[in-house]
Amino acid sequence: MKCKYKLILLTKNSLNGGIDMATYNIISHAGSGRCLNIASSSSITNGTNVNVYAATGSNDQKWVIDSLTSAQEQYIKHFSNQAYALNAYRVGTNWNCTLYKAAGNADGSLIITKVSTGVYTIRLSKHSNRYLTAEGNTNSANVSWQAYTGAANQQWKISAVSAPTYKSQYSTFSYSGLTLHIMKTSPSNIVLVNIKRTAVKNSNRYGINGGFFTTAGSDYTFYNIATNNGVSVGPNGSGDANGSGGSSKVGNAALAYHNGKLKMIDDVIRATEAQGALGSPTAVWIQGGINMHFGNTNWSSSENWYFDYGVSSTSTGRTAMVANTKTNELYLIIATSSSGKSITTFRNALKSYFGFSDSNNGSSDYAGLMLDGGVSSSMRAMVNGTAKSFGGARAINEMISLKEP
């Protein structure tokens, strides 16, 4: 067993509290104040053109923004299909504004900066002198990314359509017979809970199943690290006690929320080792599991794959936590299928959704931790204001729970 530990992924920024997500109209500050608009929200795809148009009140003019007070990178997503966001379609000197799938798209990463009360500039984070620009004041006038001039057509009034309601966002993604059920949230909105032989769907909580476990004994025994503020959440004592959530028997990695940042620690089987790698202060939570080594072509080699089952083994259910180490966003994910799918297929589905690529011994802005699967894979989510359950109905011990849905 490997005895050295290494801290392998760090974030740049953290979110304060939950995601302050809301729906907005984005209105040109020039001329007659046309709204940022798409021709039809019923047929959104990569390359859907963005223009300005007189206010209609329709969903075509609604946009989802995580925060107007943060200076960090974010996407401006379309209300009708939040998998798609504003994008720079670059052809020579022409930088047209279109919609494109948000996940992993550098040309859709934006910085929103306040100019005056309710008025902002929107620029590409990777191209610091390209600002969202209305090319005219008439209906259907085009929108593009142009060099900064300071003119009113590069300023936008951002007006809330709805106040922030949820601190999580549910979506789905289909890939090769798998359906990914995805909850996006802030790491500060997570707590690890021992739900003591209860199915996730019956827990009255929102979240996903946690680590591996055994049903032997008077209480289910944890097979993975699971701590909140340094305290093991499982049975049989605390600290590093076997089965308590203080150590791992399956996998040798852990994902932690520490000092305002999401971090993946490799080559650790005890909570004290993980905390030692992190240093002070005590991590808000540490979850053990199997590192999926996003970005690394050699992820499935015997050196990297620390699981008794090979990557070709199949199951109808899979579970993972995925951290975006650039935006400090956390994704709770289960995969369901009508027939067994391999771990490789599950990882490829995540790779397709998040848009990362693999290279020889490379890394990624995303970190993925695989958790218990099969009939344990389960989720309870808030979907359009209604609690819904997905996946298996197995009674489990550990749940990765949202503090607020």
**386: Cβ contacts below 8 Å, ≥ 6 apart:** none
- Banded model confidence at residue 219, pLDDT cuts 50, 70, 90: low
Give the C-alpha separation, 95 to 200, whole Å. Answer: 47
Report in angstroms the alpha-carbon separations of 103 from 187, 229, 352. 18, 31, 9
CB 334 within 8 A of CB 375: no
Percent of the chain scoring above 70 in pLDDT: 89
Per-residue model confidence (pLDDT) at position 218: 57
Q: Is the pLDDT of residue 6 over 70?
A: no
Percent of the chain scoring above 90 in pLDDT: 69
Per-residue model confidence (pLDDT) at position 292: 97
CB 76 within 8 A of CB 38: no
Residues 286-310: tens digit of each pLDDT: 999 999 999 999 999 988 999 999 9
Residue from 33, 114, 45, 103 nearest 75 by CA: 103
Per-residue model confidence (pLDDT) at position 42: 67
Max mean pLDDT among 95-99, 216-220, 381-385 falls in 95-99
> Is the overall model pTM greater than 0.85, yes or no?
no
CB 124 within 8 A of CB 113: no
CB 21 within 8 A of CB 164: yes
Give the C-alpha separation, 44 to 343, whole Å. Answer: 31
- Choice between 248 and 296, residue whose per-residue pLDDT is larger: 296
Ramachandran angles phi, psi of 20, nearest 5°: -85, 60
- Residue 22, CA atoms < 13 Å, CB-side half-sphere: 14
Neighbour order of strands in the sheet with 386-391: 190-199, 395-402, 207-209, 378-383, 386-391
Domains assigned to the chain: 6-14+167-402 (no CATH), 22-162 (2.80.10.50)
- Banded model confidence at residue 32, pLDDT cuts 50, 70, 90: confident
Radius of gyration over alpha carbons of the chain, in Å? 22
In 55-105, the DSSP E strands lie at: 63-65, 76-78, 81-91, 94-101
Q: Is the pLDDT of residue 12 over 70?
A: no
Q: Mean pLDDT over residues 346-362, rounded?
A: 92
Give the C-alpha separation, 146 to 154, whole Å. Answer: 9
The answer to which of 69-78, 100-109, 228-237, 241-250 has the lowest mean pLDDT is 241-250
Give the C-alpha separation, 323 to 255, whole Å. Answer: 8
Strand-pairing partners, residue 302, are none
Q: Is the pLDDT of residue 203 over 50?
A: yes
